[in-house]
Each structure stands twice: as C-alpha cells, then as structure tokens.
C-alpha cells in the first residue's frame, strides 16, 4: 500500500485538485493537467529505476558477502580435488 507510487499519486492528485481550483480557463487547466501527468509518469519511472538498481546492487553484494552454502561446499570440494592427486598421496 505505501509504495513510492502511492506517495507520487498522492502528491500529484493534490496538485491536480489545486490546479483545478486555480485555473478556471479550460485551455490552461488542460495544459496544467497534462504537465502534471507528464510529471507523474517521470516520477514513477525514476522510482522504478531506483528500486530496480537498488535491488540488483543488494543482491550482487549479498552473493559476494554471503554465498550460498551449496556454492561454498562445491568451491571447497573443487579446490581440494584440484590440489589432491591420488598418485602423489603419501609422498
């Protein structure tokens, strides 16, 4: 419910109500409302891009700082098998 789009719509609808009260001329009112619509679309695009970039960054950092246990076990097993040769054991 309380997403960035909710707050954007809240502010923009307030601006639209104020505009409808101030501009009584239909041409000016339509132009102002079209401008508010453009602002709304732009603000929502910015919010979505920010959320997508933040999500990607957090996931990428989390993978590095907190690798999954399966990946860690596979990496350690692969490292051991690469350094251990059956023919050279015991020498």
* pLDDT tens-place string over residues 26-40: 999 999 999 999 999
Average pLDDT of the segment spanning 61-82? 73
How confident is the model over 50-66, as pLDDT tens digits?
999 999 999 999 988 88
Interatomic CA distance for residues 6 and 60, integer angstroms: 28
**What pLDDT sits at residue 72?**
58
- Across 21-25, 55-59, 61-65, 77-81, least confident range: 77-81
Is the predicted pLDDT of residue 83 greater than 80, yes or no?
no
Whether 44 contacts 8, CB under 8 Å: yes
Interatomic CA distance for residues 54 and 60, integer angstroms: 10
Which three-class secondary structure state does DSSP give residue 49? helix
Interatomic CA distance for residues 9 and 2, integer angstroms: 11
Whether 22 contacts 36, CB under 8 Å: no
């Amino acid at each position: 419910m309380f997403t960035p789009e909710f707050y954007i719509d809240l502010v923009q609808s307030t601006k639209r109500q104020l505009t409808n009260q101030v501009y009584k001329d239909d041409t000016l009112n339509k132009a102002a409302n079209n401008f508010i619509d453009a602002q709304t679309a732009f603000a929502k695009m910015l919010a979505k891009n920010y959320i997508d970039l933040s999500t990607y960054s957090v996931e990428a950092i989390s993978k590095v700082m907190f690798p999954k246990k399966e990946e860690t076990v596979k990496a350690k097993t692969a490292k051991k098998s690469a350094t251990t040769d059956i023919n050279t054991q015991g020498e």
